[in-house]
């Protein structure tokens, strides 16, 4: 087996196929040869017995006329029992033995010694005047086959062997073609895997069948598509991060350069502006770190049994000054009974603050927010609705992606980093819940998420 360990798969399969074909051909040859020999022997014995029974009266008549067996060899040269008169068919005593009453072989091929038991079991007695004077014994009782029969069986075996070799050769050729067709998708997969490993995520494998190999090709193509999408998102994320970091860094660098050049005085206002940009930069880096930990499944959650109503009320209290500043009304709908959930309170409060901040940002002055807590089956459901402009249907699938904004003209001026909803999605899913958005453009948006009840 060590010889095959490093050999190509095609060679291994072909060798296995060849061994199976060889064994199958050999077994078939042996079984067919045995069956042919057995049936031919049975036929030969039956035929010889019939001829011996037809020969016995002729020999009895010959003995009655001559009183001895002298010259009996010429009897069957003139006529063949059961076949009529005509030209002699080889040596007739190749097929029969004439054995006297003492068990001595008088006429026959090689005059072999033969036991009386064999004579009495397979021989046909020759009766003259109610006296058994001899036996006519088919040669198959002593020799299994005659010379001609051996030659016939030999020709049958030769033809059978030749047919077996031809069939085995054809099977090997067809098997090779079959293996080539089967292994072609495997070769395509191997080539595609190498190209993907080199970074070519656009390469696809042709799907030519509907069997397991076809399903494997489809799975590979799906994997390649996801890798291509992941690579595209990775590059986009790097570009977005570079863009988002460049804005505060440019402001900080510009202000400091202006101070150094004497354009700005290092007044408290200028320093406060630089400090604000540094805080924005720090928040962006912190959000990126939280998001990367959550996506990698390495976010630590300090869970505890909490009444979800209290978490919502605290988040609303934190947002109250900002809502009052824009004259935005808030409707809070909470159940009377406690709603206990097993959560990391700080993370879920951050989810609520991200959703409330997003709603406040897109709700015009004088608008309204609505926060509602309900229960369904074994889940608590939190709804945050606004009366903003809503989200276009084509934008809904991208709401929870990094750095996505419904209004592309909004950026730092609105105070958003573009990571809040992506972080909210990861935090909710880390708690075993799910988050979604429903919106009709021009009629506001409703963000909702679920948490398993304790």
Q: Considering only CA atoms, which of 278, 279, 362 is closest in space to residue 322?
A: 362
Alpha-helix residue ranges (DSSP H) falling in 67-146? 75-78, 116-122
Contact 319/363 with Cβ under 8 angstroms? Answer: no
Contact 403/240 with Cβ under 8 angstroms? Answer: yes
Distance of CA 341 to the CA centre of its chain: 41
pLDDT in tens, the chain (454 residues): 555 566 677 777 778 878 888 888 889 889 988 898 888 888 877 887 888 888 888 888 888 888 888 877 777 655 544 444 433 334 556 677 888 877 788 777 666 677 777 777 778 898 888 888 888 887 765 555 666 778 888 898 899 889 988 988 888 888 888 877 777 777 788 788 888 888 888 888 888 778 777 888 888 888 888 888 777 777 777 776 776 677 678 878 888 888 888 877 888 887 888 887 788 778 778 877 877 777 777 778 889 999 999 999 999 999 999 999 999 999 999 999 999 999 999 899 999 999 999 999 999 999 999 999 999 989 999 999 999 999 988 889 888 887 776 655 444 444 456 788 988 999 999 999 999 999 988 889 999 999 999 8
What is the pLDDT at residue 102?
77
How far is residue 419's CA from residue 53's CA, in Å, rounded to a whole number?
109
- β-sheet with 435-439: strand ranges across: 329-333, 368-376, 379-386, 445-452, 435-439
How far is residue 315's CA from residue 373's CA, in Å, rounded to a whole number?
13
Q: Considering only CA atoms, which of 359, 350, 372, 322 is closest in space to residue 445?
A: 359
Q: Considering only CA atoms, which of 371, 356, 369, 355 is closest in space to residue 421?
A: 355
Structural domains in the chain, sorted by start = 1-69+90-198 (no CATH), 201-299 (1.10.287.130), 302-452 (3.30.565.10)
Q: Considering only CA atoms, which of 392, 371, 341 is closest in space to residue 448?
A: 371
Contact 353/421 with Cβ under 8 angstroms? Answer: no
What is the pLDDT at residue 96?
77
Q: Residue 193: how many CB atoms within 10 A of its CB?
A: 15
What is the pLDDT at residue 434?
94
Contact 81/54 with Cβ under 8 angstroms? Answer: yes
Contact 320/280 with Cβ under 8 angstroms? Answer: no
Tally of residues, the chain:
454
How far is residue 169's CA from residue 436's CA, in Å, rounded to a whole number?
64
What is the pLDDT at residue 274?
83
What is the pLDDT at residue 293?
77
How far is residue 138's CA from residue 51's CA, in Å, rounded to a whole number?
8
Q: Considering only CA atoms, which of 368, 442, 444, 448 is closest in space to residue 400?
A: 448
b/e per residue 239-252 (b: at least 16 CB within 10 A): ebbeebeeebeebb
């Amino acid at each position: 087996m060590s010889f095959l360990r490093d050999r190509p798969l095609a060679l291994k399969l072909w060798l296995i196929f060849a061994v199976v074909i060889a064994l199958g051909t050999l077994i078939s040859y042996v079984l067919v040869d045995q069956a042919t020999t057995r049936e031919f022997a049975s036929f030969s014995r039956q035929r010889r017995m019939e001829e011996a029974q037809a020969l016995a009266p002729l020999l009895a008549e010959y003995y009655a006329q001559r009183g001895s067996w002298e010259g009996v060899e010429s009897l069957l040269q003139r006529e063949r029992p059961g076949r009529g008169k005509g030209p002699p068919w080889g040596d007739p005593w190749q097929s029969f033995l004439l054995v006297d009453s003492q068990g001595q072989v008088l006429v026959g091929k090689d005059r072999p010694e033969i036991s009386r038991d064999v004579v009495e079991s397979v021989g046909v007695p020759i009766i003259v005047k109610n006296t058994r004077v001899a036996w006519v014994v088919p040669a198959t009782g002593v020799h299994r086959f005659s010379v001609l029969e051996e030659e016939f069986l030999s020709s049958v075996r030769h033809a059978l062997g030749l047919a077996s070799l031809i069939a085995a050769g054809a099977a090997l050729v067809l098997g090779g073609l079959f293996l080539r067709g089967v292994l072609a998708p495997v070769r395509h997969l191997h080539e595609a895997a190498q190209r993907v490993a080199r970074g070519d995520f656009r390469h696809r494998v042709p799907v030519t069948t509907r069997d397991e190999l076809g399903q494997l090709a489809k799975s590979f193509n799906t994997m390649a598509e996801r890798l291509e999408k992941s690579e595209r998102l990775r590059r986009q994320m790097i570009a977005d991060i570079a863009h988002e970091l460049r804005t505060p860094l440019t402001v900080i660098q510009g202000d400091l350069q202006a101070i150094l050049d004497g354009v700005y005085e290092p007044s408290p206002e200028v320093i406060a502006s630089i400090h604000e940009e540094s805080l924005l930069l720090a928040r962006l880096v912190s959000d990126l770190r939280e998001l990367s930990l959550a996506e990698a499944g390495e976010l630590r959650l300090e869970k505890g049994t909490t009444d979800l109503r209290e978490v919502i009320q605290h988040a609303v209290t934190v947002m109250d000054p900002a809502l009052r500043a824009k004259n935005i009304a808030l409707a809070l709908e909470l159940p009377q009974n406690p709603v206990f959930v097993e959560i990391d309170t700080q993370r879920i409060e951050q989810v609520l603050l991200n959703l409330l901040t997003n709603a406040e940002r897109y709700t015009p002055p004088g608008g309204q927010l609505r926060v509602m807590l309900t229960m369904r089956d074994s889940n608590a459901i939190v709804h945050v609705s606004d009366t903003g402009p809503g989200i276009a249907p084509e934008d809904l699938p991208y709401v929870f992606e990094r750095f996505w904004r419904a209004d592309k003209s909004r950026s730092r001026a609105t105070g958003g980093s573009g990571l809040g909803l992506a972080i909210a999605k990861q935090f909710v899913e880390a708690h075993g819940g799910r988050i979604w958005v429903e919106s009709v453009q021009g009629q506001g948006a409703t963000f909702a998420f679920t948490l398993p009840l304790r």
